Each structure stands twice: as C-alpha cells, then as structure tokens.
Amino acid sequence: MSNVLAIDTSTSKTSVALICDGKVIFNQSHIDPLAHGEVLPKLVSQVIALNSKIDLVAVGMGPGPFTGLRVGIAFAQSFALAAEINWVGVCSLDAMAAGINKSEFIISTDARRKERFWARYKDGLRISEPAVSNASELEKFGIPVLNEGEYFPDPVALAKIAQASKSVEQPIYIRKPDAYPLPIGVKFRPMTALDLVSATAIEKEVYAKAAWSAGQFKEEFAKAPKTAHYLAAEFEGQLIAYAGIFYVADVADIHTVTVTADHRRKGIGRELLKRLINWARVKKAQAIMLEMRLGNDQARPLYESFGFVEISRRENYYGPGLTAVVMRKELK
C-alpha cells in the first residue's frame, strides 16, 4: 500500500493532496501568495484526519518566489524526517504541465518584478531547464504560453511524478531571494507628531506638488490607534521611511508607503507594507485598497508581490496628467 502526501507552494496557490494506491483521497488548495505558512499546516491536518499513515512525501521544488517556495519544502522535509519516511522533490512546472494536451508549449509562473519562471515542453516532456525571463521574451518562441492563474501545479500529478522519476534534491530558486535581511541599525516604531517636520520634508522631496502637509498628517494621526495605524523607520536617529493605513467599513486603505531615495531597495518598504497588512488582518478587514502613481515601476512590483491587483484608474488624481492606479488585495 502506498499513501503519498503531495505539497506545492511554488505559486500563489498552496496545494495539498493525498493519493492512496492511485486513488485521490484529498485534493484541496488555497490562493493567497502570503498565506502559505498559515494554510499549509491546516490542509495537512485535514489529510492526517483522513489517513495518518503516510508512506511518502512529494513536494514541488520550484521554481518559485523564494519565501513561499521554502515554506512547502521545509514543511515537507520536516514532516518526512519526523515520520521517518522518504521525501521526493519534483519540478513544479512539470506538475503544472502534466495532462496538458498540446504538442508544444511553455509553462509560465509569476516570478515577480515583471518576470516569469518558465520551461518549454514538447509531447509532454520538458525540453529546457527552468529559467526566468521578462514576460515579453516568451512571446518570441511563437508557441502557446500557459500562465499561472489559468494553470497551477497539480499535486496529484506531482505525486505521480514523484513515484516515477528521480528526486530533485535542491530547490529551484534560479535567482537570489526576494526577501533580504533588513539593514543593521534600522528601527521600526510608531510614527508620532515629532516626525512631522522630517516627514513633510521627505514628502516634498519625493512627491513634489502632491506632497502631504503637516496638517494632513495630523488629521490622520488623530484617527490612531482605533481606525488608523502609522509606522516610522529610522536609521541613526533620522527618519528614513514611513507608512500609514486606516480602516473603515471592513476595508482598509493604505495611505502611503514612503522611503527616502538613499534607503530604497533594502527591504524597508516591504517590511512596512507587511506590518500594515498584519494590522489590517488584526482589525479583521476583508480587503485592503491603495492608490499608486501610474508609472511608479519600483512600487508596483512590490504591491503585486503581496497580492494586490489593479482594479481601476483615476485620471488627474495626483494633479493634472497624473493618473492613479487603484489596487486591491482580498484578505481571506
């Protein structure tokens, strides 16, 4: 008898399946690019409730965004170690390509930063190593590109591949991690009225005519802590970043995530955004909204990596000719 637990967290979907002697006993998934660590144990607990005798763990080894991918791999390896059973790694793209009835195609998943993880397949077999490229480059092949969203790695197929193929022993990260350690010395704390002088100066430097005034900040601070939350990041005693969110009628709205030019791309904005989202979850918000300036190519990939999607645009929102992109993230 062979009971296989299959796990994949290489995409925005967390997938778990249990296959017993070829029969699918359990197959469930949950879409949220930030919830792998929360959802995976719950799904596996449901599997154990059905059948606690697991003989093999199959796990998707990517490629995929670093943080989500390692959740599934670490969980699978730890589970196998504790149960004293084997685990087998499978290329997640192969589990996504299984069962697709096309002669030649490309499987593509979200790699963030406007890029795609991909591999090429012909007659059901992968004919290229997993790679990462700009999405536009995949169109040059002139064959169908099957993207994440319409397709996802199938945990049932993953289990079958694991039983028939050699294990992929190392995670397929392809590139450096999306998340980096925060710079030493950066301190996060609540934003207060004492930050107003520095904050308004940063506003003028970053946003020019669309900058907030001290009065606007004070108005928002007055809502805290009940319906608003403002954070600051400082380095060597100087304000270098701040972020704010407010909550009303089951929806939270991010007002700002601002980082000074010389401290960008160090993970500070990502950390502030993560803390705002956590605050919204505590408040039991159903969704989070935000607006960003059209053409802000640094901010958009960050928001999209947290699961925000564009829902509309507002012309002249920041001033004449300055369009706002409205984005929304559902909290499940």
Q: What percentage of the chain exceeds 90 in pLDDT?
A: 71
**Residue 8 one-letter amino acid:** D
Rg of the chain's alpha carbons, rounded to an integer?
22
The whole-number average pLDDT for the span 31-60 is: 95
User: Which pLDDT value is given to residue 274?
Assistant: 92
For residues 98-118, give the mean pLDDT: 91
**Looking at 32-41, 203-212, 242-251, which range is the least confident one?**
203-212
Cis, peptide link before residue 225, omega less than 30° from 0:
yes
Beta bridge partner(s), residue 325: 292, 313
Please say if the pLDDT value at position 60 is more than 80.
yes
**Banded pLDDT at 5 (limits 50, 70, 90):** very high
Residue 91 CA neighbour count, 13 Å, CB half: 21
Q: What is the pLDDT of residue 176?
A: 56
Q: In this predicted structure, what is the pLDDT of residue 42?
A: 96
Instruction: Please provide the average confidence, as pLDDT, over all residues in the chain.
Output: 91
pLDDT at 131 over 70: yes
Q: Which residue has the higher pLDDT, 306 or 177?
A: 306
Q: Is pTM, for the whole model, over 0.75? A: no
Band the pLDDT of 84: cuts 50, 70, 90. very high
Cα–Cα distances (Å) from 6 to 30, 110, 125, 153, in that order, read 14, 21, 21, 11
3-state secondary structure of 94: helix
Listed ranges 6-10, 278-282, 294-298, 312-316; the one with the highest mean pLDDT: 6-10
Over the stretch 86-96, which tens digit does the pLDDT of each residue have? Answer: 999 999 999 99
Q: What is the pLDDT of residue 36?
A: 94
pLDDT of residue 99: 83
Write down the pLDDT at residue 150.
92
Q: In the prediction, which pLDDT does 297 show?
A: 79
- Residue 308 CA to residue 252 CA, distance in Å, equals 13
User: In angstroms, what CA-CA distances link 219 with 63, 145, 151, 196, 216?
Assistant: 46, 49, 46, 12, 5
Evaluate if residue 179 carries a pLDDT over 70. no
Cis peptide before 144 (omega within 30 of 0): no
Is 177's pLDDT higher than 60?
no
Ordered structural domains, the chain, with CATH: 3-164 (3.30.420.40), 186-330 (3.40.630.30)
- Mean pLDDT score, 49-55: 94
Please determine, for residue 228, whether its predicted confidence score (pLDDT) is greater than 90: yes
Q: Which letter does DSSP use for residue 163 in this model?
A: H
